[in-house]
Chain A
Amino acid sequence: NFMLTQPHSVSESPGKTVTISCTRSSGSIASNYVQWYQQRPGSAPTTVIYEDNQRPSGVPDRFSGSIDSSSNSASLTISGLKTEDEADYYCQSYDSSNRGVFGGGTKLTVL
């Protein structure tokens, strides 16, 4: 199986842009879709990006996703940061047997 590696934490100021990376250890990042989940303290996760770069209805267009085959990684970019974006973010994908894999999570601090 493969691993998805995320930075443990990132921080940025309100109004700025931040990018969180998610690197796949083996196999192509493009072989299975990548999702991104936001989890605020004490709450269940919610989806902010699905199928690499799609936003569920209700998620602002400040959130965007992409994949980069050259670095075998996916990225979540949040522009125009707001204090309400402070949360943990997890990437997730599937292996060839349709078993899911989560990244370790990234704590976003907006200060």
Chain B
Amino acid sequence: EVQLVQSGAEVKKPGESLKISCKGSGYSFTSYWIGWVRQMPGKGLEWMGIIYPGDSDTRYSPSFQGQVTISADKSISTAYLQWSSLKASDTAMYYCARPVDTAYGWFDPWGQGTLVTVSS
């Protein structure tokens, strides 16, 4: 079974750094892109960016370029989403998801989500 399992909920203070993870299993991790999607409280889905773990080719939405870093460690089949200095506005649920077949494929499966709360 193809699965994406995300790290647990985080509570951080403004200015702190954070790295959340998404571990893939049941498929060849280096052969598929993985994407990240943000959902702020009570709001819609936002496409953040994707990475190809095979060669670390990464593409960001213009809205998130420079705000987050997407990376992957293929040795442990894990993708990451990282912030160097969190803001209160980063409070959201973050989902990882695997585009099927290509970088612009439909997402399947999705991870269970990681809730990030940034509050002083």
Chain A contacts to B: CB under 8 angstroms: 1, 32-33, 35, 37, 39, 44-47, 50-51, 56, 88, 90, 92, 94, 97-105
Contact = CB atoms under 8 A, between A and B. Distances in A.
Contacts of A102: 37, 44-47
Interface string B78-120: 0000000000000000010100100111111011110000000
Contacts, number: 64
Nearest to A6: B44
Contacts of A101: 47
Given A44-B110, A51-B106, A98 B44 contact: no
B25 interface: no
Given A44-B111, A44-B113, A105-B45, A100 B104 contact: yes
B13 interface: no
A100 B35 contact: yes
B28 interface: no
Interface of B: 35, 37, 44-47, 49-50, 59-62, 95, 97, 100, 103-108, 110-113
A18 to B, nearest CB: 19
Given A98-B103, A100-B35, A47 B45 contact: no
A98 B49 CA distance: 10
Most A-side CB within 10 Å, residue of B44, B60, B113: B44
Nearest to A101: B47
A46 B100 CA distance: 13
Contacts of B113: 44
A106 to B, nearest CB: 10
Across the A-B interface, the 10 shortest Cβ-Cβ residue pairs:
A100-B47, A50-B106, A105-B44, A94-B104, A44-B110, A35-B106, A102-B45, A98-B104, A98-B103, A104-B44
